[in-house]
Amino acid sequence: MPFHVSSDEFERIVTLALDSISPPLRARMNADNLMIIVQSEPGDDDRDDDIDESVLGYYQGGTGSVFSAYEYPKRIVLLQHHIEDWCESYAELVDQVTDTVLHEVAHYFGMGHDDIRQTRLRH
Ligand SMILES: [Zn+2]
């Protein structure tokens, strides 16, 4: 049973998750104008044919290879409904949002999934 909240409430949880990131890292994200975007569902323009309901969020931009032609600012997209689908309580939602934000922020800082496992962040 998905646990749904309003988009305002969801963004408040995202803000809390971002607050858990250490200030030096957050300063780098801010200086780089990294955008954190909440979407209810993947958009038509997301270019990602492989986004299914198991994808909770993703990072776009700045890898220097795959997205080298990408014109948008670097951004982390969080898929609210996909995240909510995995949660049955407010506490689970907070945990899942935090995990997803930290996972995508790790990608932003250039970490691959092997590195992320080492930091014990879940996919
Ligand atoms: Zn990942």
The CA 122 to ligand 1 mean position distance, Å, reads 9
**Burial zone of 35 (CB within 10 Å; 0-12 exposed, 13-18 middle, 19+ buried):** middle
- Residue-wise pLDDT for 30-81, tens only, equals 998 899 999 998 876 655 567 788 899 999 875 554 445 555 678 999 999 9
In the reported structure, the alpha carbon of residue 107 is separated from the centroid of ligand 1 by a whole-number distance in angstroms of 7
In this structure, of 56-70, 77-91, 108-122, the range with the lowest mean pLDDT score is: 56-70
Cβ atoms within 10 Å, residue 25? 12
Q: What domains are defined for the chain? A: 7-118 (3.30.2010.20)
Say how many Å lie between the CA of residue 8 and the centre of ligand 1.
25
